[in-house]
Amino acid sequence: MDPKFPARVPIAYLPTPIERLERLSRHLGGPELWIKRDDQTGLATGGNKTRKLEFLVADALAQGSDHLVTTGAPQSNHCRQTAAAAARFGLGCSLVLRGSKPEATTGNLLLDHLLGAHVYWNDGRDCSEAIAAVQAELRSLGRRPYLIPLGGSNVIGATGYVLAMRELMGQLEAERLNVDFIVFASSSGGTQAGITLGAHVYGYRGAALGISVDHPADALRTQVAALTTATATHLGLDSVSLADRIDVNDDYLGEGYARVGETEREAIKLVGQLEGILLDPVYTGRAMGGLIDLIRWGAFTRGQRVLFWHTGGVAALPAFADRLL
Ligand SMILES: *Cc1c(COP(=O)(O)O)cnc(C)c1O
């Protein structure tokens, strides 16, 4: 049964390229590595949230909303892409960021401002309370706010990655490639839910491994499983349990979310210096660091092919300069 995709607005440059990482593969001496460049989706430096926003913005417009509201960390890539999408469609944008105003307005936070978003800090308050206050204020001004959850990870956002799996399967078929593993950074679960459901719908036979960026494996697996099932329903698919296809590795949480350590530093430099490709300090640096470690431990055989799904985030790099050099 084919998914019934709801309306979407075209924002991303699609399909994003897939490329072979020849020099990195040779350097590591493990499986043949490929990369899918969702850092090149094109929305104000790109990233995985762009695919989600194609469906979320379409839904906001269908509901007659005129203002996007969302939330995230100070260096949230999701918030920056939401601000850019709002600008592109003439919508207002309010961001509720975790924490208090930092000394330096840099990285994604700088871009949020340049893209015209209104930035609020929860300042120790409960985030949902802070969001409710912003929504109430907007309504009192006669605006019609549309709330996008953390990471854009609801059924509407996850749909973007179901479609992304269709895109990837088409590319693999055209190149006559078989991929044994897809590896990516996983956090709020929308990307992994979409990939998991898309893998099922479009007949991907390999494994899809999410490297957790901030949650214990059990918690993330449970969250992704629920979102996968709900997304199937949203798309009019027969209910299926794909729980046993949700692979999460939480060995690389390090000192916590957005705490850059040797894993991220080494991965970013290695991929930069061998391939000329930038990774980000919070998500893809950690996921690639995990993949490199797994390769060194012999988790893959030489004949296998692994595709690393680059989910973006490069705009955050300047904010972590002191931890990267
Ligand atoms: C948000 C984000 C992720 C994680 O995606 P989820 O759908 O939240 O799991 C991975 N990489 C980057 C760069 C991101 O911004």
25 tagged catalytic:
no
Class of domain 18-47+153-324: alpha beta
Catalytic site residue from 65, 76, 187, 212: 76
State pLDDT tens for residues 29-74: 999 999 999 999 999 999 999 999 999 999 999 999 999 999 999 9
> Is 80 exceeded by the pLDDT of residue 1?
no
Rounded Cα distance between 296 and 307, Å, is 16
Q: Are 158 and 197 in contact (CB under 8 A)?
A: yes
Q: Would the CB of 185 count as within 6 Å of ligand 1?
A: yes
147 Cβ contact partners less than 8 Å away, ≥ 6 residues apart: 69, 70, 131, 135
Residue 179: other Cβ atoms inside 10 A: 21
Q: Would the CB of 81 count as within 6 Å of ligand 1?
A: no
Please give the helix or strand (H or E) that residue 275 lies within, else none.
helix 262-275
Task: Write down the pLDDT at residue 121.
Answer: 98
Q: Would the CB of 159 count as within 6 Å of ligand 1?
A: no
CA angle 271, 195, 253 (to 5 degrees): 50
Task: Write down the pLDDT at residue 149.
Answer: 98
Residue to substitute in 36, 75, 188, 277 for testing ligand 1 pocket (most ligand atoms within 8 angstroms of CB): 188
Q: Which residues pair with 95 in a beta bridge?
A: 70, 119
In degrees and rounded to multiples of 5, residue 119 shows phi and psi of -110, 130
Is the overall model pTM greater than 0.95, yes or no?
A: yes
Distance of CA 322 to the CA centre of its chain: 24
Rounded Cα distance between 95 and 101, Å, is 13
User: 49-151, what's its fold?
Assistant: Rossmann fold (3.40.50)
Classify residue 239 as left (phi > 0), alpha (psi -120 to 50) or beta.
beta
Kindly state the tokens that stand for 275. Answer: 């391939």
Domain boundaries of the chain, sorted by first residue: 18-47+153-324, 49-151
SS3 171: helix
Rounded Cα distance between 191 and 308, Å, is 13
Percent of the chain residues past pLDDT 70, beyond the cut: 100
Q: Which residue has its alpha carbon closest to ligand 1 atom 1? A: 151
> Is 90 exceeded by the pLDDT of residue 177?
yes
Q: Ligand 1 centroid to 210 CA: how many Å?
A: 10
Q: What is the mean pLDDT of the chain?
A: 97
Q: Ligand 1 centroid to 181 CA: how many Å?
A: 18
Q: Would the CB of 25 count as within 6 Å of ligand 1?
A: no
State pLDDT tens for residues 259-302: 999 999 999 999 999 999 999 999 999 999 999 999 999 999 99
Classify residue 116 as left (phi > 0), alpha (psi -120 to 50) or beta.
left
Q: Ligand 1 centroid to 190 CA: how many Å?
A: 8
Q: How confident is the model at residue 241 (pLDDT cuts 50, 70, 90)?
A: confident
* Ligand 1, atom nearest to 188 Cα: 8
Mean pLDDT for 170-187 is 98
Q: Ligand 1 centroid to 185 CA: how many Å?
A: 6
Rounded Cα distance between 67 and 108, Å, is 20
18-47+153-324 shares its CATH topology with 49-151: yes
State how far the alpha carbon of 30 is from the alpha carbons of 27, 266, 298, in Å. Answer: 8, 17, 8
Nearest CA to 197 out of 238, 258, 255 is that of 238
In degrees and rounded to multiples of 5, residue 144 shows phi and psi of -120, 90
Rounded Cα distance between 60 and 207, Å, is 34
Q: Whose structure tokens read 């871009």?
A: 111
Task: Write down the pLDDT at residue 47.
Answer: 98
Please give the helix or strand (H or E) that residue 147 lies within, else none.
strand 145-147
Task: Write down the pLDDT at residue 13.
Answer: 98
Q: How confident is the model at residue 135 (pLDDT cuts 50, 70, 90)?
A: very high
